Each structure stands twice: as C-alpha cells, then as structure tokens.
A and B are shown apart, each in its own frame.
Chain A
Amino acid sequence: MDMQVAIQPTASTTATMISFRQVAKRFNRVEILKGIDLDIPAGSRVALVGSNGAGKTTLIRCLLGEYNYDGELRVGGLDARRQREQVLKRVGFVPQLPPPLRMPVGQLFHFAASVCGAEVGRMEAVAQRLGLDLSQLRHRPFVRLSGGQKQKILISIALGRDADILVMDEPAANLDPEARHIFFRLLAEKPQDTVMLISSHRLDEVASLVNRVVEMDQGKIVLDDRVEDSIELDSRLQCRVVLIRDEPAFVKTIREWGFSAGASDVEWEGIVAGPDRLRFLGMLSRYAGLLSDIHMERLQTADG
C-alpha cells in the first residue's frame, strides 16, 4: 500500500504517554522501521494492524526496550531502552506466541509477581475469572498447557498488576467466546487513563476494543485514524439465529460460541460479548445462505 497519511495525534488535550520520534530500526541492510512518528496519549486504546512483516512486532520490541533503534522513543518521559526497567514496571505485555517455559504455573506467577512488585493473589484471581482451575494447573509446567490456557496465564500476569500500559499481541486469538467476554470485561475494569496497544494482523479481531487504529505497512504508518467507540467493553448481546434448515457444520460452530438450541433444531440462542459482535457476524456470514433470521439485543449491564 503506497498511501501515506498525515498523522494526527488523536487526543491532543491528554498528556502523551508514549512518544515515537523518527524511530528507525534496521537488521543488517533491511530497514524494518522507517522513521516512525507516533504519539499515544493516556487513555488511548490503539489497534496496531498490518500484514506480516509490516513492522508491528519490531515496533513493540522497541517499545519494550528490547531492541536498539535510531530516533527517540519515550514512555512517560523515560527512554524506552536506557531506562527499560523503570518503563517496564508500567507495562503489562501479552505476546502472540507463549514462551516455552518449563516452570510450573504457580512458580511463574510467583516469579512474575516478585519482579513486578505485584501480588500473586491478584494475578491468580484474574486467572480464575478467566476460567482456569489453578488447583489443577498450579504444579503443571507452563509449556504443557493448551494454547488457550497459556494465553489466559499470560493475560492474568499482565492484567493482575498495576500496569498503566498494556501491550498485547493478538491477545484473544486463542480464547473461547466466554473467556473473550471476561477478557473484555477485565480490560473495561482498567483505569480510564490506561494505554492499550493491541496488535493484530486483522482489524476485525480488535476493532471493537479500540478507539484508534494505526495501520503499518513496510515499516511505515500508513493510517492513523479514530474509531467510533460506542461499544462498551463489558457490553453483552442477547442473540437469536434462525436457519432455513439444520446444518451440522453450523451446529458445531455455533456451539463453540456457547449457543444452545431453541424451540426447534433450526433455532439457536446465546450471548455474544459486545466487542465480539463483528467477529460473530463474520462467522455468520460464512453461513449466509442458511440464515433465515438474526436478532441481536443489547443486555443491560449491572450499572445500567
């Protein structure tokens, strides 16, 4: 994509939390980041999207102080590389690929809590809310868990501490719909000034979670735009889907979304997390020829 878009800071009235100034990174002769300029104010929820090789992971690693770079990258006024320890005390990170750690889950929680100065109990409470049975998992090596369980553990470590910057790489990719909904609620519970940088190669995966989209292509920012964020992270939708006939493939998929059969075999009912509505409709679009009726109604949250 050749389009170059003028970058407008989205919330100039709010203090800038993260600031990239002409940040460039090259590996040997290949320039991966080409002079990135980006301001992320406190409270921003940014989707970092782009195809593979666009530079998203490199940008995140620069932000985490893991790569050397040219230019200036400041987090809360601190240099991301030279003052990485102070910066990382504020950052909760969820990687796309869980590391193959052999340490037991309980020990991983204790280790992460001790280096982050956090309480183990808070991390474990998040894990339990995400549906993990820690009495079963505590002594199991992290590497032996399923993809979804690993993701939940890493989310628990990132969200179970006082991090005001969350950097997440495809965080909900391995989660089932119920866990996704709880994850969205956990994000909604974070203080308003928390910065969230959520990386994904598909915008529809994260669009509902963010209020700003930054698209990268070939090491440059090609789009920086606001998103209408009327969807509350903890909202839920009561859904009813009616088919024109029974279809086993659809039944298997809709059951994975936690739906159950209604009055007849062609009628399905269930609840979808608000931020997941685009994904849900995307799934339904695969069975468009079978659909007879779709009804979605927003459920009232506890606070109205």
Chain B
Amino acid sequence: MESLRSRWFLVYTGIFGGIIVLLFVFGITESRIMGFTGLSRLLITYIQLAMAILPIFVLITTVRSVAGDREAGVFEYMLSLPISLAAWFWGKLLGRFVVVFLPVFLAMLLAVAWGLIRQAEVPWGMFAYYTALLLVLAWCFLGIGMLVSSLARSADVAQGAAFVVWLTLILFLDLILLGVLIRESLSPEVAVAIALANPLQVFRTAAMILFDPQLVMLGPTAFIILDFFGHAGYMAWALVYPLLLGTLTAAFGYTLFRRSDLP
C-alpha cells in the first residue's frame, strides 16, 4: 500500500497509460490504413516499448524504495514491531509486484477494451502470452532489484548498481554478442547460451516469435534456438527462466537481508 501512494507510481502509471493512448492515436489509425484488422500491431509495439522501459523502471524504483526506506528510518521502526523478516521481505516484494505489474496490465486491458469497442479483431492468444511475458519480466527484475537492495547499504549505491546491472544486460544483447563472437572466435552455441541467459534477450526473442515464428529477424542464431528448444519449447522457456531467475535472486536477497543488519 505504501508503494501505491508514492509519486513514482503515478508517474509510472502515467507513462504506460500514455504509451497506450499514443499507440491508439497513431497505431490503430495506421493499422487501418495498412490493412491491419486487429490489435496485433499495437500489442507488438507496446510490448517492445514495455520491454525497453519496464526493466530499468522496476530496478530503479525498487532499489530506491527499499534502500530509501532503510535510510529514512522506515526499517528501523517497522522492524521494531514483531513482524517476521520473511513476511516483511516477501510482503514488500509481492506488494511491489502488484504495483509494478498492475499499470502495465491495465494499459493492455485498455487497449483490448478499446479494440473491442472499435470492433477490431483481438488476438487473444497474443494478448495472453504477452501478459504472461510482462508478468515474468516484472517478477524477474523485481527479484534482481530486491537482491541489489539487500547488497547495497545506501540508496545511491543501490541505484548505481541497479543501473550497472541493466546496462550490462543491454550490452549483452545479440548485436554485441555477435561482435564478441567474431573477435574471440567463440562457438555459436556459447554465444547463444550467453544470450539466452540474458533475460532481456529472452524477452526480446519471445516477443518476436509470435509474429515471426521462424525468427527470421534473428538470422542464423534462430537455427540454434529453434533446433534446441523448438517453437513451443522456446515460448515456455521465455516464461519459466525469468520466473526462476527472479525467484532465485529474490531468495538470495532474502538470505542476505535476514543475515545482515536490518536498518
């Protein structure tokens, strides 16, 4: 509830609501001209934008909130009440998950509602998968954010660390990897494995696979991915891996939190 009342939440909700409104204004109009009958184009554009914004937004706001609360004395007071550390940590994580995911999901619902009003075709399968993708994306970066918050003692350090994490993941997206692959003569399998360990890359590829089932846009890398996972297998991997990564990083964060000084 504390997160719902913060200013960042309003900004965050405004940004995702604003994106959808802008996409309505430009996307749906454009879709008609280009002969699109449904909301696919809008959803694809939205998911790409959400994936660019959501991770850094979740990371920065989470570490600022948690480390900021610690610095401001919220931990000192609230943890002087007989609350279990597990309830405090996981409660905070779940609370933040709701406030992070809710605006993004509501924006998607808004798109669907608007599409139905305009009698456009709603791609329900795509809507469901993208919703699940956004859900695990939010969870994954929330877990990483909680780990960073447990490691860093001040809001400034936590924020800097969160930014470095995000930047590293951005740098290891496929284009950079290709460069490394060429320079270091790495095997393509290793490069693809590194790429698939990067949640940002996993999301990017998963978002792509719905409208480009053969992953033509990825080039030769697609052969390795589809050969190893298959189409459905990769879609499942894109949901399971970030979920696991988020849970493991959060669990590690909790272990550190429980063992360290609390305020």
| A-to-B contact residues, CB < 8 Å | 61, 64, 66-68, 84-86, 88-89, 91, 93, 95, 97-103, 107, 112, 115-116, 141, 154, 167
Structural contact, A66 and B82, CB atoms closer than 8 A: no
Partner of B74 from the list A64, A101, A116 (CB cut-off 8 Å) is A101
Instruction: Find the A residue at minimum CB distance from B82.
Output: A88
Given A85-B82, A86-B82, A98-B73, 17 more A-B residue pairs with CB atoms under 8 Å apart are A64-B79, A66-B76, A66-B261, A66-B262, A67-B262, A67-B263, A85-B84, A98-B77, A99-B73, A100-B72, A100-B74, A102-B5, A103-B5, A116-B81, A116-B82, A154-B77, A167-B80
Instruction: Find the A residue at minimum CB distance from B81.
Output: A115
Indicate whether B78 reaches chain A with its CB closer than 8 angstroms.
yes
Considering only residues 71-119 of chain B, those with a C-beta below 8 Å from chain A are: 72-84
Structural contact, A88 and B77, CB atoms closer than 8 A: no
Report the separation of the CA atoms of residues A154 and B154 in the bound assembly, to the nearest whole angstrom.
25
Indicate whether B128 reaches chain A with its CB closer than 8 angstroms.
no
Report the separation of the CA atoms of residues A98 and B78 in the bound assembly, to the nearest whole angstrom.
11
Report the separation of the CA atoms of residues A61 and B262 in the bound assembly, to the nearest whole angstrom.
9
Indicate whether B260 reaches chain A with its CB closer than 8 angstroms.
yes
24 A-B pairs, CB-CB below 8 angstroms?
A61-B261, A66-B261, A66-B263, A67-B261, A67-B263, A68-B261, A84-B82, A88-B80, A88-B82, A89-B82, A95-B76, A98-B77, A99-B72, A99-B73, A99-B74, A99-B76, A99-B77, A99-B78, A100-B72, A100-B74, A101-B2, A102-B2, A103-B5, A141-B5
Interface size class of B (residues with CB under 8 A): 20 to 34
> Assuming A95-B73, A95-B76, A99-B76, is B81 touching A88 (CB within 8 A)?
yes
Indicate whether B6 reaches chain A with its CB closer than 8 angstroms.
yes
Report the separation of the CA atoms of residues A98 and B73 in the bound assembly, to the nearest whole angstrom.
7
Structural contact, B80 and A66, CB atoms closer than 8 A: yes
Report the separation of the CA atoms of residues A91 and B80 in the bound assembly, to the nearest whole angstrom.
8
Indicate whether B25 reaches chain A with its CB closer than 8 angstroms.
no
Smallest distance from the beta carbon of A165 to chain B beta carbons, Å?
Answer: 11
Structural contact, B77 and A115, CB atoms closer than 8 A: no
Report the separation of the CA atoms of residues A129 and B74 in the bound assembly, to the nearest whole angstrom.
26
Q: Which residues of A have CB within 8 Å of B77? A: 93, 95, 98-99, 101, 154
6 A-B pairs with least C-beta separation: A88-B82, A93-B80, A102-B5, A99-B77, A66-B262, A99-B74
Smallest distance from the beta carbon of B26 to chain A beta carbons, Å?
Answer: 36
Q: Which residues of A have CB within 8 Å of B78? A: 99
Indicate whether B1 reaches chain A with its CB closer than 8 angstroms.
yes
